[in-house]
Structure 1
Amino acid sequence: MAHLNYNHLRYFWAVAHDGNLTRTAERLNLSQSALSTQIRKLEERLGHALFERRGRQLILTEAGRIALDHADTIFAAGEEMLDTLQAEGRARRALRVGALATLSRNFTLAFLRPLLGRADVEIILRSGGPAELMQALEQLNLDVVLLNQPAARDAMTRFVSQKLDEQGVSLVGTPARLGPGGALADLLARHPVILPTPESGLRSGFEALCDRLGLRPQIAAEVDDMAMMRLLARADAGLAVLPPIVVTDELASGALVEAQRLPGIVEGFYAVTLERRFPNPLLRALVHGAAAPGVA
């Protein structure tokens, strides 16, 4: 029985993580045809197609996902062996985390806190929109994605959504703007509001509340980043509609105050993973720890 050619496997591994044959060929200083030949030889050896083309993009087949899981394990073990034998200290294990751009930075930090400062762990953090993050998770370029809603699951893509926490949503503003406060309807009628963008579930909940109250508040800004909403609230651009965890430090210092909780509106926090034969071992304790009471 012929042995597996690990050069072929490494070329496949590189393309699978890049998702682009041209980019990988340039990085490896190979021609595209030579790289394609190496991958085709691996496919012939394994007896399965490892990629399918969708436009210009290469998507892993089911066999490709299995092969990539094994390749990740094989090459990670090789790196650990080098670290050990070359006395470079304990091998570092990477955790690749994607976080929705509109998600609270404070919540993301709370999720990652158990791993912060560990000499054996490297955290790679990416932010973006839900579509690009879920694509990266599906292509195994991320280990977990933090979202504010569960991911759709079907027979082709088996996402697992673990609910970590749920927070109420409030009107938050400067003490100078809010003064003695007031009733919710009065605050919304008198002050402009800083809102997340229309595709946000939080935004749709706020608009439904305004409909029930018969209000059409003035919009000061629509923002796709919770950190920017926090800065705009501190600059007194209006009342921000957000979970208090986003402005924990400002509330503690008195720079901002929580005017009113918005009835019936909550922000969920979910850790989304992909069913894998070889999940990142750092994830289990991290997800279970974040799901414990009092994480926020």
Structure 2
Amino acid sequence: MELRQLEYFVAVAEERSFTRAAERVRISQSGVSAQIRQLERELGAELLDRSGRAITLTAAGRVALDHARVTLASAGAVSRSVGEVTGLLQGRVTLGMVSGCTLEPLFDALAAFHQARPAVEIHLQEGRSDRLVEQVRDGAVDVALVGMAAAAPLPDGLDSCVVLRDRLVAAVAPGHPLAGRAERAPLREVCAHPLVCMPAGTGLRAMVDQACAAQNLQPTITLEVSTAGALAALAVRGVAVAIMVGSMVESHHDRLTAVAITDVQAPALLSLVWRAGRNPAASELVDRCRHAFAGGRTLR
């Protein structure tokens, strides 16, 4: 009897389908079936009833399922404990980050983690903040760096920490009318102009939508783009007023003016999100990210 056989059995029992179980454990359907047949031969009993459209458990299978789950959990606990004690972490960790992220502390953290844990395979993927949070919840992503509005709730079971706080600003070319107001303007005046924003589902867009809803404003959002560079390029050309945060504008300070939005006080947040206890490598990556961002941005 092998642990992988128990893993495949549990997957089929929970998914009630060889096809879905094979997708879950990432091997072929025939491989799953063969391993479970071998397990049944070793136990001397059929565990699955294959006669119906959906796979069901036999009486022997129902007895075996709880023990299989306990065995797999125990094996995982042994592996995690040994890894934590010896420091020889192996495996993989998947880090999600908001699209277009160019924050140096994140890449510093990844480099430090890779140097300390060369045996851990790192996967990096971009996405919208709302989707990344769901992927952390579902286990497809171990840690995510996401944008969040200050009041945004997280799904149950997830941990988070804020690594950066920043003010919402309107970014305009130096000759724009908003740039002539001592670089300050209320949200209503900003929304009198066509806007370019991040798309729905991003933390920055959620903050814009909340701020406008609080004042019963209906801005004209003519363009949606997913990167700070695209926001800046459109604002520089006078196509629309870009809604950004202060740190986004800094690298374009020679071409853009950051106009503070005076009546939006809640900060935009950049946060790490993870599920505690799921992956020891992910826990270490979280610690390294927190350290890299320590001493981060002070709100202006």
In structure 1, the residue matched to 2:212 is: 207
Seen in structure 2, the aligned counterparts of structure 1 residues 7 and 65 have a Cα distance that, compared at 3 Å, is: closer
Listed one character per residue, the Cα deviations across residues 110-169 of structure 1 (whole Å, up to 9, x for unaligned) are: 233233274426532122345543343234332212223365343xxx211112221111
Q: Higher Cα Rg: structure 1 or 2?
A: 2
Tell me the residue number matched to 2:102.
Answer: 106
Decide whether aligned partners of structure 1 residues 106 and 72 sit closer, same or farther in structure 2, where only a CA change above 3 A counts: farther
Q: CA RMSD in A?
A: 4.5
Match of 1:249 among 248, 251, 260: 251
Specify the SS of the correspondent of 1:172: strand
SS of the counterpart of 2:265? strand
1:34-54 CA-to-partner distances (Å, cap 9, x unmatched) read 35557888987673465xxxx
Residue identity in the other structure for 1:203: V
Distance in structure 2 (CA, Å) of the matches to 1:65 and 1:147: 32
Q: 2:95 aligns with which of 94, 97, 101?
A: 97
Match of 1:147 in 2: 146
Whether the 8 Å CA contact 1:25–1:31 is kept in 2: the answer is no
Counterpart Cα distance in 1 of 2:2 and 2:255: 62
**2:242 equivalent in structure 1:** 240
- After superposition, residues 111-126 of structure 1 pair within 5 angstroms as 111-116=106-111, 118-119=114-115, 120=118, 122-126=121-125
SS at match of 1:106: coil
Residue 266 (structure 1) shift: 1.7
The CA deviation at 1:171 is 0.5
Within-5 A mapping of 1:258-269:
258-262=258-262, 263-269=264-270
Corresponding position of 1:193: 195
Superposed CA offset, 1:4-43 (max 9, x none): 5144267579999xx9434468854735533555788898
CA gap of 1:284–1:131, structure 2 versus 1, over 3 A, is closer
Q: Is the Cα contact below 8 Å between 1:205 and 1:265 reproduced in 2?
A: no
TM-score, reference length from structure 1: 0.64
Contact 2:96–2:143, Cα closer than 8 Å, also in 1: yes
Task: Give the aligned partner of residue 80 of structure 1.
Answer: none
TM-score normalised by length of structure 2: 0.63
Unaligned segments of structure 1, at least 5 residues: 51-62, 78-89
